[in-house]
Amino acid sequence: MKIFLLRHGEALKKLDDTILSDFGHQEAKALASKLSELPIDKIFVSDYTRAIETLEPFRIMNPNIPIVKTSDLREIYRVIVGGPVREGTPDDRIIKDSKRATKVWEILKKEKGNVAVFCHGNIIRFFLMKSLNINPDNLWDKMLITTGSISVIEVDGDLIRVNAINLIDHSPLKKKFYERERIDTTYQT
């Protein structure tokens, strides 16, 4: 069984719930085309608008795949995956978000077929962290999960493998990403 972790497309603002930008819609279409090549038996999606909008092109292309929409797939507090503290965050957020993410992780691991999970960057990092059984120290900075990306976890009984992290070959972001990398490396001495 495979779990395809899909980060939503680029959003307009960094708010709790927001819509995709024009570029985010392009990412969603590219992601839908790529996913349509893969065997998906069930879909899980965050109830945030940007995740639902990212799912939409795939859902239109594959209307018979069952969908589970859940608030449990909302973004988690970045501190859980080694990110910096955000001033004003409630003290109990780490505990609540960790419990919620762990609950979803346990559900996903028990699925019988391949699942696509449309969600957010930090919860994807969390699932990868659990799969790799690694400490979250600074994972937030070390594990790039770009918008519209695909990460793949394979579950075979008790054996859990990470097959891919942050695939973007299908994405219009690929060109931007590689151009940025080329420019950045050009000026290194």
Task: Inform me whether the pLDDT recorded for 85 exceeds 60.
Answer: yes
Query: Which pTM value belongs to this model?
Result: 0.90
Mean local confidence (pLDDT), 170-184: 60
Determine the pLDDT at residue 67: 98
pLDDT 10s digits, 127-174: 999 999 988 876 777 888 999 999 999 999 999 999 999 999 888 866
Q: How high is the pLDDT of residue 141?
A: 78
Query: Token pair for residue 182?
Result: 């080329």
Q: Which amino acid is at 56?
A: E
Residue 2, beta-bridge partner list: 154
pLDDT at 105 over 90: yes
Q: Write the pLDDT tens digit of every residue in 18-50.
A: 999 999 999 999 999 999 999 999 999 999 999
Who's near 180: CB < 8 A, 6+ residues apart?
none
Domains of the chain: 2-186 (3.40.50.1240)
Nearest in space to 158 (alpha carbons), one of 133, 136, 134, 139: 133
Long-range contacts of range 135-141, CB-CB < 8 Å, 24 or more positions apart? 136/80, 136/81, 136/82, 137/82, 138/82, 139/81, 139/82, 140/78, 140/81, 140/82, 140/83, 140/84, 141/82, 141/83
Angle between helices 49-61 and 22-35 (to 10 degrees): 40
Contacts of 139 (CB under 8 A, 6+ apart): 81, 82, 125, 129
